[in-house]
Amino acid sequence: MTVDELVENFEFFDDWEDRYAYLMELGDTLPALADDVKVPANIVQGCMSQVWMVARLDADGRMHLEADSDARIVRGLIAILFVALQDRPPAEVLAADVGALFQRLGLDRHISLNRRNGFAAMVQRARAFAERAA
């Protein structure tokens, strides 16, 4: 899914209850993270829920993220992060304006402050991976 497709899908729904349901459905599509990866070193600090994130570079030099959460809505936020950053070169990850996407979707006005801070922490962790890889 592209960023524009994601925005279009969000705009399809008239009310926020439907958008929240869609957000959680997005999270349901994520593959589960293996239990051996759910270790303290992989926890994203600053998230209210438990979030684990790891990254690797593939053979083409693109950053591949894997993440999971114990909260369904946070898994949806992870899915949004993946739409914005998944399988991109580290330089593109560093240049991406994920905050603008968050605003375009209206999440900045409809997600709790704690969830917004957690999302920002996930973005920061992804950028830290990209900085190390660049």
Which positions are catalytic? 47
The count of C-alpha atoms lying within 13 angstroms of the C-alpha of 109, restricted to the half-sphere facing its C-beta, is 6
